[in-house]
Amino acid sequence: MVKQIVYPTGCETLPVSALHMYAQNPKDHQERDIDLIIKSIKRNGWGDPILVCPETNEILSGNGRYLAACKMGLSDVPVVFAPKGLTPKQKADLVIASNKLVEASGYNDNLGALIAEFSLDIADFGMQADMSMETDMPALSSADKSPFQQITFTLSDNQAETVNAALSKAKADSIFGQDTDGNENSNGNALYVMAVRYLNGGC
């Protein structure tokens, strides 16, 4: 028996059986992805409703949530309806935009701060411990890579917690920001501060 799931207010519901996935859905949902969505729904209730074409009940955004609902055995799901009269081209545009525009955005230091403040489990978001080191690193084009290096670290959860605390402390250091060498990545600059302190016998 599936416990009652809290739905967002102000939206309609439709039977799961009435919906069908967009035939050319470009997003590949693995079982692990679906399980992460299920865990989120169980923890917090249903967040974003599924975006549905009003004429055909095609899912234009939320295919992963639909698959999660099927796996959970839910009988209905919250939905909002897209504008009526969308052309096939507009539907395809909307399907791609709902995925790729979100992916195009990066993250800043607030990501790590929120995870630390509320003791969130990074595994619940499909993240690995080493990702916390690069959350505010902008993507570099090939022409821009020569002055900088991207370094990835693999850490245990306990190690990551210690390193993140050290990075936060380093950002409050008096020498933080004085010698950035053109680097706008705050975690990289904080790591540099720790390295300088260590090499100078300050640790």
Q: For 150, left (φ over 0), alpha (ψ -120 to 50), or beta? A: beta
β-strands 50-52, 58-61: how paired?
antiparallel
Q: Which amino acid belongs to residue 16?
A: V
Contacts of 93 (CB under 8 A, 6+ apart): none
Confidence of residue 114 (pLDDT cuts 50, 70, 90): confident
Residues 67-102 have pLDDT tens digits of 999 999 999 999 999 999 999 999 999 999 887 877
Residues 4-38 have pLDDT tens digits of 788 888 889 999 999 999 989 888 888 988 999 99
CA 186 vs. chain centroid, Å, equals: 20
pLDDT for the residue numbered 202: 61
Q: How far apart are CA 9 and CA 6, in angstroms?
A: 9
Residue 5 burial (CB count, 10 A): 16
Domains and CATH numbers, the chain: 12-103 (3.90.1530.10), 129-199 (no CATH)
End-to-end CA distance of the chain: 55
SS3 label, residue 50? strand
Does the predicted TM-score (pTM) go above 0.85? no
Q: How far apart are CA 83 and CA 86, in angstroms?
A: 7
